[in-house]
Each structure stands twice: as structure tokens, then as C-alpha cells.
């Protein structure tokens, strides 16, 4: 592990790609009744979706980021305005379909969050190629590109494969966080870093992923097939396994100093921490340790609210680190 602290402010900018963004509307309700009206309070309204969330968290950690994303019709205009007001540097690619809205409902009585997300717009081949062209033009000095989130309807399953080729062609590194057929197709091209959660890992492995041993089986498969140079599989409240050609490292999640409220933004915040630290020169294990701490801080906030940076940094020293051999 690196002993010198990396400075994200001096690192190159991170570029993110969000093909299926959202406007996240977060409501609070005292108790969700089965019948009658449920009176809600608006907690927040913000631009969202994988890459946009990553860009927000990169900035929260002191780094620089630009988010490339689609935007369509009235909701797309609202998304652009929200990002402008928040001060997130972004490049919008116009599409014909309507950008989706997502609802995060937080029930205060049970302290539970419900994240409700529609599928989003349908993109045609021309719109997909335009997004690739904009991404290629935007990379510039960005050594790290993060492609995060689901693909909208209409795009081919191998779209992220084309993204990987664009990124590699200019000498940059792709961090990928997606699921389903889009994830499977991207594996054939090989990415720099692949982050999987338990559900995505189980889909790749063909069985439930509950333990570090299960995560090890997934990561070894990803490394030996050339799907990724760095494989990070998260295992919910247990933490994450970070694997490279040098070996595997268990990073056990720290005890939470509060109540778990929502995991809606934990994955994106972890990817942001990983990327901003790698961009600043940290080794993968140190970067992943911060990622686990940031993810822990994220679940302490309701809905999709940003994590507390001070809490995240305080949790870093409590991340348990164990180096282990392969299976």
C-alpha cells in the first residue's frame, strides 16, 4: 500500500459517461399507507445516474470531473439546469426521447428507502454514435474515464465495448460499472477496472455471491480471462475484494457509526473514490480502502444525498485489510 497521501486536486480530470441519466426526486413520508393519500415532503431534486453521481462524488473528494450524458426533452432540460445550478461540469448530448425521472421514497417511521427507477428513453443508432463521438472529443487529458449505469433501450449490448475501444485508442483507462448483457459483452474487450456488486457478480459466476471466497472466484475469472486488469467485487455490508495480477485483498467494511438508511448511492460513491485516488497516483488497495469507507459513509444518508466527507475519512482507518492467496 502507498504510504504517501495522494492529492486529487493535482490529478488530471476524470471523465464520466452516463447513457441513461435521471432526475432523482427524493420524498419523505412518515408512514406509507396501503390506502388513502400519503402526504410527502420533497427532500431534494437532483441530477442522477451512474456517471453523473460519480462526477459529483469525485468533486466532493477534491478531484475534478466532467460528466458526459444524454438529455432529452423537458426532463432533459431540467437535468441540465440542475447540474448547472449544482456546479457540475457536464456535456449534454441531445436525444429525441424524454430523460427519465426516478423516485426515492424515504419512510421515516421504518427508516427505509425505496428507489423506483423506470427504464428510460429509447435511443437509435445515430444517437449512440453521436454519444461515442462526443465522448472521444471530450477525453482530452483525462487519463481515467468512468462508464457507469445501465444502457437505454435501442443501444446494442456491446455499446460499452465500443466505448472501451475509444478510450483505449487515446491511451486512457476505462473504469466500468454496469450490469446484465452490457456487462457481459464488455468483458470480451477488457477494461482497466471493473466494479461488480453482489448481483452482477452472481450473474457472472452463476451462483449466489455471499462471501469473500465467492468474490475471489469471480475476480479470478475476470483476471484470467483478461476481462479486467483490476477487479473489485463488493459484498454488501461485508466490504469488497480488490484483485490484481499481484494478488487479492479483502477490505472489510468498518462498523457503521449510525443507522443504515439507504444504499442508493453507495456503489457510485465507491467508484468515485477508487477513480479519484487512482488518478492521483494511489495503488489499487489504498484506493479501494477509501472506496469502502466512502460507501459506508454513503449508506448513513437517506435517499441519494451525498456522503459526509469527514465521516468517510474518519472511517478509513477502520477498514480491515487482509492480503490473501488465490483459491
In the chain, which ranges are continuous DSSP H helix?
A: 50-60, 73-86, 125-138, 159-169, 180-187, 198-205, 212-224, 266-279, 284-298, 309-315
Specify the pLDDT at position 3: 37
How does residue 39 score in pLDDT terms, banded at 50, 70 and 90? Answer: very high
Query: pLDDT tens across 75-93, in order?
Result: 999 999 999 999 999 999 9
pLDDT of 1 higher than 90: no
**Catalytic positions, please?**
268
How does residue 327 score in pLDDT terms, banded at 50, 70 and 90? Answer: low
Specify the pLDDT at position 301: 86
Distance of CA 25 to the CA centre of its chain: 19
Report the share of the chain in percent with pLDDT over 70. 97
> Which residues are within 8 A (CB) of 297 and not within 5 positions of it... i.e. 6 or more apart?
269, 307, 308, 309, 311, 312, 315
d(CA 292, CA 71): 31
Query: pLDDT tens across 2-17, in order?
Result: 434 457 876 789 999 9
Instruction: Name the nearest CA neighbour of 44 among 302, 307, 308.
Output: 302
Lowest mean pLDDT among 202-211, 269-278, 295-304: 295-304
How does residue 291 score in pLDDT terms, banded at 50, 70 and 90? Answer: very high
For the record, the C-alpha cell of 30 comes out as 412518515
Query: pLDDT tens across 167-213, in order?
Result: 999 999 999 999 999 999 999 999 999 999 999 999 999 999 999 99
Specify the pLDDT at position 214: 97
How does residue 326 score in pLDDT terms, banded at 50, 70 and 90? Answer: low
Backbone angles phi, psi at 7, to 5 degrees: -110, 105
Instruction: Give me the chain's average pLDDT, please.
Output: 94
Contact between residue 41 and residue 303 where contact means Cβ atoms under 8 Å apart = no
Question: What domains can you pick out in the chain, each with its CATH number?
Answer: 9-21+48-100+122-324 (3.40.1190.20)
Specify the pLDDT at position 4: 45
Amino acid at each position: 500500500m502507498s504510504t504517501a497521501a495522494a492529492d486529487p486536486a493535482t490529478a488530471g480530470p476524470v471523465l464520466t459517461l452516463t447513457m441513461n441519466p435521471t432526475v432523482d426526486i427524493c420524498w419523505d413520508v412518515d408512514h406509507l399507507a396501503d390506502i388513502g393519500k400519503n402526504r410527502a415532503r420533497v427532500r431534494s431534486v437532483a441530477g442522477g445516474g451512474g456517471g453523473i453521481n460519480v462526477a459529483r462524488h469525485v468533486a466532493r473528494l477534491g478531484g475534478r470531473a466532467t460528466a458526459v450524458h444524454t438529455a432529452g426533452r423537458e426532463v432533459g432540460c431540467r437535468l441540465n439546469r440542475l447540474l448547472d445550478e449544482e456546479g457540475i461540469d457536464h456535456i449534454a448530448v441531445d436525444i429525441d426521447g424524454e430523460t427519465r425521472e426516478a423516485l426515492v421514497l424515504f419512510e421515516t417511521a421504518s427508516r427505509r428507502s425505496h428507489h423506483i427507477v423506470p427504464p428510460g428513453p429509447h435511443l437509435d443508432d445515430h444517437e449512440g454514435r453521436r454519444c461515442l463521438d462526443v465522448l472521444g472529443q471530450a477525453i482530452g487529458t483525462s487519463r481515467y474515464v468512468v462508464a457507469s449505469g445501465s444502457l437505454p433501450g435501442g443501444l446494442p449490448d456491446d455499446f460499452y465495448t465500443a466505448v472501451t475501444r475509444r478510450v483505449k485508442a487515446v491511451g486512457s483507462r476505462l473504469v466500468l460499472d454496469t450490469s446484465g448483457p452490457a456487462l457481459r459483452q464488455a468483458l470480451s474487450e477488457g477494461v482497466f477496472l471493473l466494479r461488480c456488486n453482489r448481483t452482477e457478480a452472481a450473474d457472472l459466476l452463476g451462483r449466489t455471491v455471499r462471501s469473500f471466497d465467492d468474490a475471489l472466484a469471480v475476480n479470478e475469472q475476470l483476471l484470467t480471462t483478461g476481462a479486467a486488469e483490476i477487479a473489485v467485487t463488493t459484498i454488501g455490508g461485508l466490504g469488497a475484494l480488490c484483485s490484481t495480477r499481484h494478488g487479492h485483498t479483502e477490505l472489510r467494511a468498518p462498523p457503521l457509526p449510525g443507522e443504515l438508511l439507504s444504499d442508493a448511492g453507495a456503489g457510485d460513491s465507491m467508484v468515485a473514490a477508487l477513480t479519484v485516488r487512482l488518478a492521483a497516483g494511489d495503488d489499487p488497495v489504498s484506493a479501494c480502502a477509501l472506496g469502502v469507507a466512502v460507501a459506508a459513509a454513503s449508506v448513513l444518508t437517506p435517499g441519494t444525498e451525498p456522503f459526509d466527507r469527514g465521516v468517510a475519512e474518519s472511517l478509513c482507518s477502520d477498514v480491515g485489510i487482509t492480503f490473501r492467496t488465490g483459491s
